[in-house]
Amino acid sequence: MSTSTLCRFLDTDHSQLGLDEMIAALEQLVEQFGFTYFTLTRQVCSADDIDTLMLAGCWPQGWPEIYVQRKYAAVDPLVRYLGHCQRGYRWSEALSAFRNHPQRKRMERVMVDARKFGLADGYVFPVHGRRGLIGVLTLGGNKVDLTAGQMALFDTVAKKAFWLVLERRDPVTCGELAAPVDVEMTRREMETLGYLAKGLTSHQVGSTLGLSTHTVDWYMNSIQDKLKARNRHHAVAIAFRLGLIN
């Protein structure tokens, strides 16, 4: 299948389509590339609440039940690798990344059992927003070899499909994720937050900025209040999610 198919999907205006029509368009694209199954989910596909996270698609009959029963969510290499990768990746790439992991055998068992249900190979395309990972497009079935260009286009397809489907299925959540950041920081607060994100202590930040430790702590208390954070680490995490720092 040529890259032109992906380009046409991206160039097409799907804004007037209803939920079922949008999902059908995505399903048709996936099938044209030879994939038997696909899922579009919010955040990481957690087995415990998969019904609430699933936006579109389906897995082979019986596989979700086995996945939950054997507690594979805790060791699934496809899910674990989402925390390491900002781009799309092949299933085998994810498993290779955990070559020396203490639970490597369990990870391999997940993939072996998946093959029994017709999931021989596939790809994962993460969707990131201000708050970090917000969605995932997973393609699976028989072995399909995508080129580097096709994978880059599927990354964009995942983003487009996620926002279009989420907008139709859950407009409130979609609005919350897309809402502009309404947090006003002073220059000193942004400098302090940036140094804190690099692991500096209050004393080190103060020495760098020519401020007393007491003043740095005062800035940090203000930052925590503005971000509604429980502590400094929480403030940094929230700032990353909101895109205030990178």
Does residue 28 lie within any of the structural domains?
yes
Residue 173 lies in a domain: yes
Predicted confidence at residue 134, as pLDDT, reads: 86
72 shares its domain with 112: yes
| Of 37-46, 47-56, 131-140, 177-186, minimum mean pLDDT range | 47-56
What is the percentage of the chain residues whose pLDDT exceeds 90? Answer: 62
Tell me: do 169 and 206 sit in the same domain: no
Neighbours of 106 (CB within 10 A): 16
Claim to verify: residue 88 and residue 197 sit in the same structural domain: no
Asked whether residue 86 is assigned to any structural domain, the reply reads: yes
pLDDT in tens, 177-195: 777 767 888 989 989 988 8
Does residue 9 lie within any of the structural domains?
A: yes
Are 168 and 58 members of one domain? yes
Residue 56 has pLDDT above 70, yes or no: yes
| Number of domains comprising the chain | 2
Same domain, 193 and 174: no
Q: 246 exposed, middle or buried (CB, 10 Å; 0-12, 13-18, 19+)?
A: exposed
Most confidently predicted of 23-27, 40-44, 200-204: 23-27
Looking at residue 49, what is its pLDDT?
Answer: 55
The chain-wide mean pLDDT, for the chain, equals 89
- What pLDDT, on the 0 to 100 scale, is given for residue 43? 77
In a domain, 44, yes or no: yes
76 shares a domain with 21: yes
Residue 246 domain flag: no
Q: What is residue 40's predicted lDDT score, i.e. its pLDDT?
A: 96
Same domain, 131 and 220: no
Q: Within this chain, do residues 221 and 123 fall inside the same structural domain, yes or no?
A: no
Q: Are residues 107 and 205 in the same domain?
A: no
**In this structure, what CATH number is given to the domain that contains residue 235?**
1.10.10.10
Q: Which residues contact 100 (CB under 8 A, 6 or more apart)?
A: none
Q: Dump pLDDT digits (tens) for 130-154.
A: 667 889 999 999 999 999 999 999 9
What per-residue confidence (pLDDT) applies to 210? Answer: 87
> What is the span of the domain harbouring residue 232?
187-241
Check whether residue 97 and residue 16 sit in a common domain: yes
Are residue 30 and residue 127 in the same domain, yes or no? yes
* Domain identity same for 191 and 140: no
**Residue 36 within a domain:** yes
Give percent above pLDDT 70 in the chain.
94
